[in-house]
Amino acid sequence: MTNMLNDFLSTRKQKIEEALPLYIKELQTPKSLQESMIYSLEAGGKRLRPILVLAVLHTYNKPEELGLATACAIEMIHTYSLIHDDLPCMDDDDLRRGKPTNHKVFGEAIAVLAGDGLLTQSFALIANDPTCSAEQKLRLISELVKASGAEGMVGGQVADMEGEAKKLSIEELQSIHENKTAKLLAFSIIAGAILAEAPEEDINKLREFSYHVGIAFQIRDDILDLEGNQDKLGKPVGSDTVNEKTTYPSLLTMQGAKTKLEDHITKAKQLIKSLSVPSELLEQMCDLIAKRDH
Amino acid sequence: MTNMLNDFLSTRKQKIEEALPLYIKELQTPKSLQESMIYSLEAGGKRLRPILVLAVLHTYNKPEELGLATACAIEMIHTYSLIHDDLPCMDDDDLRRGKPTNHKVFGEAIAVLAGDGLLTQSFALIANDPTCSAEQKLRLISELVKASGAEGMVGGQVADMEGEAKKLSIEELQSIHENKTAKLLAFSIIAGAILAEAPEEDINKLREFSYHVGIAFQIRDDILDLEGNQDKLGKPVGSDTVNEKTTYPSLLTMQGAKTKLEDHITKAKQLIKSLSVPSELLEQMCDLIAKRDH
């Protein structure tokens, strides 16, 4: 990882992590609910989605402050989805990033409601953002619903559950990941472009770019589940095999999955190089996703 | 109930019930999730909240079509909250309005996700509404988050759970109901006023009116739990006593609760009579809430 990228990631991660809990601390709400929401917001993670919003603004030479509220809204949605996914009736996970999951600490009822609270609040972050226009905010909200709701992440989660222990085709697997993971990653990039007032032609290219990055992200996830380091991942490896999940390596062999990962990264880079602005930072983030070890 | 009110309620209920499922049927989403969302949207109920949006527009002599999307968004939020409240980790209810609850039909995981999907979608209904201005939509979204999220309904649900089997003061009980029930009812009324472009002075009066109506609604709920008819309610009576819940009758005696109900209705009517427009319909709805038998 280059020094420039390393520096960008660590400074922006800090900025996001400072801002995130403030949106919840200011709320008039029961203490237990507030603590539960903040617990999961502060439970770590790469903050890849919110950093992408800032990276796109940086690419277009616009103040990154324009993206802070939207970046935090996306991280709240990502966090709520992890809380609900970990519930006993879903994946029934006790640990997340090496820490007890929300319902293990606060109980299931509070965990459900903390997720509901974070999801709801995320829309206020955008609606009340004083740094952008009414039209931008409404476009962001409309795109965020598509990326995170029944037509995106929530629908992908249902398809993923229903596809478990079933032999899926590569098209079915791809569609699940597109909805479950790629659409919210893509929204992070597109949100940055909307806020940067990028040309519509660039927004279309960034949408296609995001698609390839999102699929690459998921292939890397599947590879890490087989080849990763348990300590770095903060979760046990090999769980997909135990759960008989269809993965890219199980469908394509490990070598096939790695080749497919390279293909998507190559296509993503071609697209990003054709933008109206230099895109070195986004290219480097693309490589990071392809080579990440956790 | 007068003929005029009866006619208004039944025609508008029908209009809402026709529109509601269409917003979900058009989504590209897994069949099971779609069926689960529509099942709960079509499970009946008085549709009081969405009808209030239309009633305020009617009061201001504005086309009710202006309120249809927002009315449906509110009903989606109300419906998601019922699905999540009924979950085994929350109230663990098998029946809702005489029908099996969502998780009894579709399983817990789908029920959680159907709730998440409805909550998320509700914001798109407002953001994509072609009948109102960008400023109106953002104000609606911002107020809706306050009414339904951690500072409103979700927070009230937590406070309600934590207050169970505990002796509450009248102030604590009132604060729980204000958050859990009254704020979303109030939002329905205020949303109608925002869409009708009512004078800000009227909006303030309607906010206070809504507060009294919301508390009255909850007192009536507590009374019905003791004196209601199980068949009309679609749920067993006396459950609050079994669960040792603090209620208005348990704090104030039945007669005291009825007097308090009358007080709130009287104050609500005084406020509504001082609006800049005649308010016969809203007065009648106020009486309906005070006297409803289910």
**Number of domains chain A contains:** 1
| Residues of chain B above pLDDT 70, percent | 98
Report chain A residues whose CB lies below 8 A from the CB of B110.
158
Residue A234: predicted pLDDT: 66
B201 pLDDT higher than 90: yes
Q: Which amino acid is at A72?
A: C
The C-alpha angle with vertex A184 and arms to A167 and A155, in degrees rounded to 5, equals 45
Of B115, B134, B148, the CB nearest to A135: B134
What's the pLDDT score for residue A233? 66
Residue among B89, B115, B145 minimizing CB distance to A108: B89
Q: Do B30 and A159 lie within an 8 Å CB cutoff?
A: yes
Q: How far is B55 from chain A (nearest CA, A)?
A: 26
Contact B127 A148 (CB under 8 A): no
**pLDDT tens digits, residue range A145-202?**
999 999 999 999 999 999 987 889 999 999 999 999 999 999 999 999 999 999 999 9
For residues A187 and B136, give the distance between their C-alpha atoms in angstroms, rounded to a whole number: 24
- The phi and psi torsions of B182 (rounded to 5 degrees) equal -70, -35
> How much is the pLDDT for B235?
67
Select from A70, A79, A116 the residue whose CB has the most chain B CBs within 10 Å, as the one to mutate to test that interface.
A116
| Domain span including residue B267 | 3-291
Asked if B117 lies within 8 A of A149 by C-beta distance, the reply is: yes
Which portions of chain A are predicted below pLDDT 70?
1, 233-236
The pLDDT value given to residue A105 = 98
Instruction: Pick the closest to residue B233 from B65, B44, B76 (CA basis).
Output: B44
Residue B268 above 80 pLDDT? Answer: yes
Are the C-beta atoms of B59 and B194 separated by less than 8 Å? no
Q: Residue A272 has what pLDDT?
A: 95
pLDDT confidence band for B44 (50 / 70 / 90): confident
pLDDT beyond 70 at B270: yes
B86-104 confidence digits (pLDDT tens): 999 999 999 998 899 999 9
Interface test with A, best of B87, B89, B137 (most A CBs within 10 A): B89
Pairwise CB contact (< 8 Å): A150 & B107? no
Q: What is the pLDDT of residues B229-259, one digit of tens each?
A: 777 766 677 777 777 788 999 999 999 999 9
Is the pLDDT higher at B286 or at B53? B53
Nearest beta carbon to residue A120 from set B33, B117, B145: B145
What pLDDT shows up at residue A3?
Answer: 84
**pLDDT number for residue A242:** 74
What mean pLDDT comes out for the span B252-280? 95
- CATH at A186: 1.10.600.10
Lowest mean pLDDT among A137-146, B60-69, B204-213: B204-213
A48 to chain B nearest CA, in Å? 22
Torsion sign across C-alpha atoms A252, A258, A263, A268? positive
Look at B4 and B255; give whichever has higher pLDDT: B255
- Selecting from B84, B121, B161 the residue whose C-beta is nearest the C-beta of A149 gives B121
Please answer yes or no on whether B124 and A149 come within 8 Å at the CB atom.
yes
Question: What is the structure's pLDDT at B242?
Answer: 74
Can you give the pLDDT at residue A102?
Answer: 98
- B159·A120 Cβ contact <8 A: no
pLDDT tops 70 at residue B76: yes
Is B117 in Cβ contact with A155 (below 8 Å)?
yes
Amino acid code (one letter) for A217: F
Task: Transcribe A103-165 into DSSP letters.
Answer: HHHH-HHHHHHHHHHHHHHHHHHHHT-TTS-HHHHHHHHHHHHHHHSTTTHHHHHHHHHHHTT
